[in-house]
Amino acid sequence: MEQAEVLAIYQLLADQGIEIWLDGGWGIDALIGEQTRSHGDLDIAVRHDDVAKLRRLLKARGYEAVDRADTQPWVFVLGDDNGRELDVHSFTFDEHGENIYGIEYPAESLTGAGSLDSQPVRCISAEWAVKFHTAYPPRAIDLHDLNLLHTRLGIEVPDDYKA
């Protein structure tokens, strides 16, 4: 997934009133303020109420559902003919800000602010990005991402995840 496509999707959805938060590797790069590695996909968090509209808008851009074993109404992948993939994680909060459906994003995890190509974007907060990235055995890209948060932003990461 190229940065230009990430920003185009972000802007398309914003123009249509859909807020998204960059998650995964692009979320880390947004926190750092620049692309630091290549990315196979774009992970996003979105309110579940916006999923149907998001699907329609991205279908018009050439993105179709990708059949995967882990597909659920709240987590699914959309892909296009160029091999680009968008990994969508949806959630619903109640009137008190408590997660009641979908991916269990705590409200405070959706407070990150970053930029890509000098354009401001919403993303997962750095502290929560560490928590999410350390919830499974690390891959080389996870170690890379967490090391950037530690060295560039001073965010503490577990010793097992420091490069």
Q: Structural domains in the chain?
A: 3-154 (3.30.460.40)
* Residue 159 clears pLDDT 90, i.e. is over it: no
* Residue 163 clears pLDDT 70, i.e. is over it: no
Q: What tokens were used for 118?
A: 């000098």
Query: 101-110 burial, b if ≥16 CB within 10 A, otherwise e?
Result: ebbebeeebb
Query: 7-19 burial, b if ≥16 CB within 10 A, otherwise e?
Result: eebbeebeeeebe
Backbone angles phi, psi at 92, to 5 degrees: -135, 130
Average pLDDT for 123-145: 94
pLDDT at 160: 82
Average pLDDT for 91-101: 96
CA distance 28 to 128: 11
pLDDT at 49: 98
**pTM greater than 0.85:** yes
CA distance 105 to 120: 21
